[in-house]
Amino acid sequence: MQAEGEDDAPPEERFARSDFTAGGSDQLSFSKGDKLLIHAKPSSDWWWAELLGVRGYVPASYLQEEEEEEEASLEDPWQDEEYFGSYGMLRLHLEMLSDKSRTEAYRQVILSNSASLRSKVVMDLGCGTGIISLFCAQLAQPSVVYAVEASSMAEYTRQLVKQNECQEVVTVLQGRAEEIELPEQVDVLVSEWMGNCLLFEFMVESVLLARDRWLREGGVMWPSSAAFTLVPCQADRYYAEKMAFWERPYGLDFTPLQPLAKQEFFTKPKFSHLIEPSECLSAPSDVICLDMYTIQVKDLEEIRGQFHFDVEKPGVFHGFTAWFTVYFESLQTGGPTVELNTGPNAEPTHWKQTLFMLDRPVSVYTGDSIRGTIVLRRNPVWRRHMSVTLHWNIDSSSMETSNCKVGTKTFPMWR
């Protein structure tokens, strides 16, 4: 039940134990004893840090952290207080409930399966304000719906259930999925667990744990499967706004600020991006597919996909845009599958799309191909965070493209 993500991680302080002189425009110089703010740890060797308002990569081996700070940072690797605290307020719920595509998709799932839900036992995990549970109670006739919510919103959900006269069907349970106790197994496990780039914040782990513990054999998962989609794209407006702007603002040469702009705006993914279909350089491709019945928690640590795009029109390759689609199988054999698509050819959702910018744009031409891999890697310490690594290779006969054929870039994703 992820709303719009945040770009920055909560920074942690590290102290320089040695001097370091930057060897490139992406690196940050510092002296022994300087206090650096660490924003991201894309790899074990190089971290993304800030000193006196300037950001850049620093070698992790040159830094040290006070012992008590290290212990404090590991007390809550899930950041539960912050995470569930945010869902205890209305801002995110307003955003999600206002997302008509999202909410109507779940309503349609319940409506199209209303006859088959009769007398079934349902768990609505991460129910929030209880909208899906209320749909079940009003549109179908399940025997019971267990509405599970870990945040303080659960108390208001109880009031909403009573206000809508659904208390005979819906039972609200406050607690984490890993801790709650139910009196019985469930026939249907429904949850809205998706985050930016599908997995961000990893609520999906709680869903899988609940599946293994409470879903009866032959029970149904909603969503039943998911696909993560990627496409190479142009991003002329965003590039002009964040990078080309510095070329001649007000008739002055500000190009020395472009390396800093690249560090600040292109190192992290751009959430809430809206790509126009015309900005896609090729047909999109599903690069990762998840089967919600078979995927295991251990599989979430690192998920890999491959891609091969054939460029369909000449243009400027600025980066990749990603989105996801989830599918809800019917409870009836041969019944219709409902889908929720967050891509550019569907009605916009609150997730929108996610843009990953290259450091330098590349001109591509009809007939070129872009091949590569994508890796979604979970942060080993901060369990709701992850990184996305893209490796690409451009096959082209153009001399203009020949110097930029291969690239790799890692994007940290933080709350």
Chain position carrying tokens 């709680």? 206
Helix (H, G, I), strand (E, B) or coil at 242: helix
Alpha-carbon gap, residue 309 to 283, rounded angstroms: 7
Catalytic residue from among 192, 205, 279, 329? 192
Q: Report the DSSP pairing between strands 270-273 and 353-364.
A: antiparallel
Catalytic residue from among 201, 205, 279, 329? 201
Q: Report the DSSP pairing between strands 369-378 and 121-125.
A: unpaired
Helix (H, G, I), strand (E, B) or coil at 362: strand
| Torsion angle in degrees (nearest 10) through CA of 350, 356, 361, 365 | -80
Helix (H, G, I), strand (E, B) or coil at 97: helix
Residue type, 357: M
Alpha-carbon gap, residue 134 to 259, rounded angstroms: 52
Query: Could you confirm whether 201 is annotated as catalytic?
Result: yes
Q: How many CA atoms lie within 13 A of 168 on its CB side?
A: 4
Query: Could you confirm whether 13 is annotated as catalytic?
Result: no
Tokens at 239, concatenated = 């590039």
Q: Which residues are catalytic?
A: 192, 201
